[in-house]
Amino acid sequence: MPIDSLSALQGVAGSGYLANTKPATTDGSAFASVLGGAIDNVQGLQSASSELAVKAVTGDLNDIHTATIASTRAQVTLELVAAVRNKGVDAFNEIMRMQA
- Can you give the pTM of this predicted structure? 0.65
What is the tally of structural domains in the chain? 1
Residue 1 lies in a domain: no
Question: Nearest to residue 1, comparing CAs of 73, 80, 57?
Answer: 73
Residue 72 lies in a domain: yes
Residue 49 lies in a domain: yes
CB 60 within 8 A of CB 46: no
Residue 2 lies in a domain: no
| Domain enclosing residue 14, as ranges | 7-99
* Residue 47 backbone dihedrals phi, psi, to 5 degrees: -65, -45
Q: Residue 10: what pLDDT?
A: 47
* Local confidence pLDDT in tens for the 100 residues of the chain: 444 444 544 444 444 444 455 555 677 788 889 888 888 999 999 999 999 999 999 999 999 999 999 999 999 999 999 999 999 999 999 999 998 6
